[in-house]
Amino acid sequence: MRLAYAPYRLWFKSPARTSREVMTEKVTCLLKVWDETNPAVFGIGEAAVFPGLSPEANEGFEIKLVELLANVALGRPTDLSRHSSIQFGFEQALRDFASGGLRLYFPSSFTQGEGQIVINGLIWMGSFEEMASRVEEKVKAGFRCIKLKVGGIDWNNELSILKRLRDRFSAEELTIRVDANGAFNAENALPRLQALADLGVHSIEQPVPARNWALMSRLCKESPTPIALDEELIGIYSTEEKAQMLDEIRPAYIILKPALCGGFSGAEEWIRLSEERGIGWWVTSALESNVGLNALAQWTATLRPTLPQGLGTGALYTNNFPTPLQLEGDRLSFNPAETADSAAFADLDWRE
């Protein structure tokens, strides 16, 4: 078996703003696995590295890819336990290769065109007018769960958008989630969490920065708004430390990004540990291209989720790859008639 990798730069249609940064591009890396006796059949995966979030997003990233490439050729295992994005992409490529290169990573009734995944509508940060307009667009498109990024503009303006939304739609009609990306602090977190609770907000992701377990634990105990952990899961590798973190913080939910928390196998361990403790969860993409997003949606469908998921159709980028995923309103489905297009990967800068 052989492996190659190809760096790829995704370009946003519009700048994507969080409380941390404004993004106009996103680097990623595709992996290809094949058998030398039949190179026309290959599996594709995406090592969806995320600079600023992925611990392995440094000069060692490509070194680990070269190590994996050599070990695959020699038939030797590679320790990817601290390289979630590569683990994520390698699992995809192997699964795709096993299915005959048809981009069927997790065959199920979903990939047969049956069933749908309910997703939330994501509202990126912007000016008051931009965010209010984006909310209107998502509601008109049929979304019944909206997630807003907060912490990037004036808090009172963000609160005004939430109030306007709640004035129009009750909590039964529209679920509101917010994601602070760690923008709150010990002084302002609880008053803001109370204001969100007064508006019937479903949950907040990562209100304060990760790695302050004592503060996050206190907030989870005292907050009237349920707290979901996101960045808090990144960089925790062992089963023991995962369990310790969940036991100490006791969040209401965890947010699973396999590209950032150990690939599919690592995310499944997080699910097992959280369910043992009565902690809820949902899956969110990590700005993957349509390659990773397709695999992510197929995997999510096998979990039979009960809450809206944080997935999409990869419409953020100008230079994305073809996808069998389709979105109608807030329902994500798979079109099996959209056959795998191997030609889309032919001209990439493959490194062997």
Task: Find, among 292, 223, 290, the residue nearest to 257 by Cα.
Answer: 292
243 burial class (0-12, 13-18, 19+ CB within 10 angstroms)? middle
Check if the beta carbon of residue 195 is closer than 8 Å to that of residue 159.
yes
What token pair was written down for 189? 């977190």
Active site residue 149: yes
170 secondary structure, DSSP code? -
Active site residue 242: no
How many residues are listed for the chain in this entry?
352
What token pair was written down for 281? 């969860």
Q: Outline where DSSP puts E strands in 238-343.
A: 253-256, 280-283, 325-328, 331-334
170 burial class (0-12, 13-18, 19+ CB within 10 angstroms)? exposed
H or E element at residue 139: helix 128-141
Looking at 147, 149, 163, 221, which residue is catalytic? 149
Q: How would you label 277-300 residue by residue, b for 16+ Cβ within 10 Å and e otherwise? A: eebebbbbbbbbbbbbbbbbbbbb
Sign of torsion over alpha carbons 137, 141, 142, 147: negative
Residue pointed to by tokens 């990004």: 257
Q: Alpha-carbon dihedral of residues 221, 223, 227, 231, nearest 10 degrees?
A: -80
Q: Alpha-carbon dihedral of residues 79, 85, 89, 94, nearest 10 degrees?
A: 20
Catalytic residues, which ones? Answer: 149, 257
